[in-house]
Structures are given as structure tokens and as C-alpha cells.
Chains A and B, each alone.
Chain A
Amino acid sequence: MSKRKAYYANKMKRAVHMLFYRRHKKPGVKGWELRKALGADYPKVLGILDEYLKALDLQVKTVFEEETPSEKPTLEQLDRARFYITLRGELAPKETKMIGWRIDDLAGLAVTIAYIISKKGKAPRKEVEELLREKLPGWKVGLNIDRYIRYGYLTQDENEQLYLDWRTRAEIDQKALIDFLMAK
């Protein structure tokens, strides 16, 4: 193995440890943490890792603090971004059960997120509850919304307005979700 290859293989291992194992309360690693551990060329290390993970149907997902930059992100934007490992492809419907989701709960999450996206990223909890009550038993509606908040898909302010939170930004392709729903 060439010296250069060994250098990147070593850095990649370190990146895998940091990205796969949870270090903080929330999963994921900040760009500046990766820079500190892997050096200034961490975006390149992540690129190689992402390529490597393709075969395993996984990917390195970058979630920027602000909106996703239209051009190549700057180092500063990358430093402030958060990096995760997510599934690259799709789960089969049967597989969702394996990761602890019931079909009702997942459908409720889909409806909630789609509705909030259509309302420019903010919707009153009451409206969302009404919408969910169409398909879910009343007693479950509040519990489900609280669960989505706990998992980090949603957040709620003091005026009971719901917003999309960090996990939605990391895991869900919002445009694709709306397109798939409208195409049904």
C-alpha cells in the first residue's frame, strides 16, 4: 500500500468511528470536529468514505446550518454543517418494522412533515392534530406528535407552532416526499 493510500485509509477509519458511533446527545458530527480530528482535508476523506459506503447502500449526509448552498460549499459552511451516515437507497415497507416503526406512526409522520412543508415550514399543532385525527385514533394523535418531537423530526415553540427539526433535515428528501405524495 502506498504511503498516500495508507494515510487516507487511516483517516477513513477514524472518520467511521466518529460518524457511526454517537458521541453527543444528538447523532452526527460537526464539520469543525472532523477538521480537528482528521485535518483540513476532511472533506476529501469524507468523499472517499462516501464512495466506499456506496456498495453498502449507505452515504455520508451533509446538513448545512442554513439553506443548502447552490454552489460548492465553502470551508466555513462545511465547518458549521453536521455530518451523518444515512441509508443511501430506500427501505422496503417490511423493513420499517425492523427499525421499530408501526405503519400508523410512519404514515402519521409522513402527513405531519408534508403538511408543515406545504405551510412554509411552520404549522399550528392544532391544525396538524386535526389532520392526523382523520386517520389515527384521537388518543394516539398527541402521543405521536410528542414522539416525533422527541426523536428530533419536529420541534415546537411556546405558541404551539410546529417546525421541522434536525432529523427531518438529515433523513428526509423533502422535495421527493411532496412529489411522491402528489403523484399518488
Chain B
Amino acid sequence: MQSKREHIKAGRERLQRVIETCRSVEERSLDPFLIDVNEIIKIVREFFPEWEQPEDLCLDAEAINRLASVIRLQSEWVRHRSTSLYTDPFLLEEKIKKLDKEELVDAFIQAWHPMVELEQISLHSIAESLRYWESLPPLKDRWKELPIQQVESGSATREELIKQRILRDKAFTEELENFWNELKKFAVEKGENGKVGYWDFVGAETYDETVHRAFMTSFLVTYGYATLEIHPLEEETYIVPYEKQQRQTAKKQLVSIPIAITFEDWKKWRERGHT
């Protein structure tokens, strides 16, 4: 014999199923007559005396609401079928596929009564246009050329271009390789099992320098000079330098790891006594 609790549990499940079925009929435009309304009313009626909790009563109301929507769809379906416009979509689709272009157009023009419409210009719009024309400045005033400043040509030294940040004092690859060598040295001297803590390596005297080092580290990882080892549970990130640059294989799925370097993080790192 089923206990009361089990009976209530079964009732909830059945109402959930009713709600889901009605919803799928509504949302996926299925035939609303797939739903046996009498059967659902029987289920709702069977379990109604058992409901005591407000959630169960809400579930009951939701089921009735969904059922009402399905009945509305059934009524719309009957109304559409009874109109003279009703044609079985499948039949019509088949018919359309069989007909050639000429036959389709022939049927269409018998039912088509195109509209007569003429564009016009009125006295009012002519007057309006004349007023606009009068107030419009001539093209020579509107499209005045920007004055071009004549500048004497001259020469600039490499140092001047570096100063103006047009050139860098080191080529980027050279800078990156120097940074890689620094990482390898750091790993040997202060690392453990060939790896170093991310902040131990990236952290610097100033926040600007720290951001720059994090930027360079990201390129070391991207270009295969080093890799990251992440321990999510301990929330620790390590950098492991490679002895030789690794070439990426196309088959390997690459992932991006965002690491935030905020001013607050850098300050905390400094307060922990790192220099």
C-alpha cells in the first residue's frame, strides 16, 4: 500500500509532467489535440484533496492554467479549420513544389489586384525646397579645404625616436628572450622543482613595473617559452620555464587564463613583506 507521502510525491510528479506537456504544445506549435483534456482533469481532481502546502496548490493552479491555454489553442485550431481559408499545409506544400513558375504566377495574378499609387510634388513642397535652396551656402564655402602647413624636412636621431616612443630601445624578441633568461635563472635560484610562484616572479618595486612584468610573462607563455601551472584549490599559480622554446601543435587545444593584476593585489603582496 502506498503511503500518503509517496502518494503526494507521485502527484507532484504527475502535475509537473502535465505542465511540461502543455507547455511544449504551446511553445512548439504542436497539435493541441495531442492533449487528452479529460485525462488531465481526472489527474488534477484525483490529487487535489491531498494538497495542503501552498507550493502544491500553486502547482495545481499552474497545471489548470496550462490546460486552459491548450483548450484555447484547440478552439483556435477548430475555428481556423472551419474557415474557408483552411488548407492542409502539407497538401499545399506538395502542390507548390509540383507547380512550375509560370503556373504559380498564373494563379497569383488572378488573385492579385496591385495598388495604384503616384508620387507627387505639391506647391507646398516646391516652396519649401526653394526656401531651402536659398539658405543653402554654395559648395565652395561648405567644402573649404583645410589649410596645409608647410613643414621643413629634417633628420632625427635614434635616441630622439626612442624618446618620442616611435622606436623601442630593444627589439621585442630580444627583450622577451632576456626576460626568459631572467625567469630561468630565477627558477634555478629561488624556485622549487623548476617552478616559481607567479607573484614571486612578476611582483616588482612599483605597480607599473609589476604590470609590465605580467605583460611580458603572458608573452612568454603564449610563445612557448614557459607554461603556467595552476592549483585551483590552493589558489596558487606557478610559472614553469622551458629550457627550449616549445612549438605549439595545431591539435592541442589552447586555453586563455586571465590573471588580474590589480593595484590592491600588488599592495597586499608588498605588505606581506616582498620586495
CA distance A18 to B112 in the complex (A): 23
Q: How many residues of A contact B (CB 8 A)?
A: 51
**Chain A residue contacts of B114, Cβ below 8 A:** 86-87, 91, 99, 171
User: Nearest chain B CB to A113's CB is how many angstroms away?
Assistant: 8
A-B contact pairs, 8 of them (CB 8 A): A84-B115, A86-B113, A93-B102, A118-B87, A167-B115, A170-B115, A171-B112, A184-B99
CA distance A84 to B117 in the complex (A): 9
Stretch binding the partner chain, chosen from A6-14, A33-41, A71-79, A100-108: A100-108
CA distance A115 to B90 in the complex (A): 10
CA distance A98 to B81 in the complex (A): 38
CA distance A88 to B115 in the complex (A): 10
A167 — nearest CB in chain B belongs to which residue?
B115
User: Nearest chain B CB to A88's CB is how many angstroms away?
Assistant: 7
Most chain B beta-carbon contacts within 10 A, residue among A117, A174, A180? A180
User: Nearest chain B CB to A109's CB is how many angstroms away?
Assistant: 7
The answer to whether B113 touches A115, judged by C-beta atoms less than 8 angstroms apart, is: no
**Chain A residue contacts of B112, Cβ below 8 A:** 90-91, 171-173, 177
Interface membership of B108, Cβ < 8 A: yes
Stretch binding the partner chain, chosen from A20-28, A43-51, A138-146: A20-28
Interface membership of B152, Cβ < 8 A: no
The answer to whether A115 touches B110, judged by C-beta atoms less than 8 angstroms apart, is: no
CB-CB under 8 A for A22 and B85, given A90-B112, A93-B105, A131-B96:
no
The answer to whether A21 touches B118, judged by C-beta atoms less than 8 angstroms apart, is: yes
The answer to whether B116 touches A115, judged by C-beta atoms less than 8 angstroms apart, is: no
Binary per-residue interface labels of chain A (141-180) against chain B in the complex, 1 for a CB within 8 Å, 0 otherwise: 0000000000000000000000000010011111111101
The answer to whether A110 touches B116, judged by C-beta atoms less than 8 angstroms apart, is: no
CA distance A120 to B76 in the complex (A): 10
Q: Which 10 A-B pairs have the closest CB atoms?
A: A110-B108, A180-B107, A177-B111, A176-B111, A107-B104, A27-B117, A21-B120, A118-B89, A86-B113, A107-B101
User: Nearest chain B CB to A77's CB is how many angstroms away?
Assistant: 20
Interface on B for A, CB 8 Å cutoff?
A: 76, 80, 84-85, 87-89, 91-93, 95-97, 99, 101-120
**Chain B residue contacts of A172, Cβ below 8 A:** 111-113
Task: Report the tally of A-B residue pairs with Cβ distances under 8 A.
Answer: 133
CA distance A182 to B111 in the complex (A): 13
The answer to whether B119 touches A22, judged by C-beta atoms less than 8 angstroms apart, is: yes
CB-CB under 8 A for A135 and B120, given A115-B93, A173-B111:
no
**Chain B residue contacts of A22, Cβ below 8 A:** 117-120
The answer to whether B116 touches A87, judged by C-beta atoms less than 8 angstroms apart, is: yes
CA distance A38 to B58 in the complex (A): 58
User: Nearest chain B CB to A108's CB is how many angstroms away?
Assistant: 9
CA distance A109 to B112 in the complex (A): 11
Interface membership of A80, Cβ < 8 A: no
Most chain A beta-carbon contacts within 10 A, residue among B92, B104, B118? B104
CA distance A27 to B108 in the complex (A): 22
**Chain B residue contacts of A114, Cβ below 8 A:** 92, 96
**Residues from 121 to 139 in A contacting B, C-beta threshold 8 Å:** 131, 134-135
Interface membership of A15, Cβ < 8 A: no
Interface membership of A85, Cβ < 8 A: yes
CA distance A93 to B261 in the complex (A): 72
User: Nearest chain A CB to B258's CB is how many angstroms away?
Assistant: 33
CA distance A96 to B108 in the complex (A): 11
User: Nearest chain B CB to A182's CB is how many angstroms away?
Assistant: 6
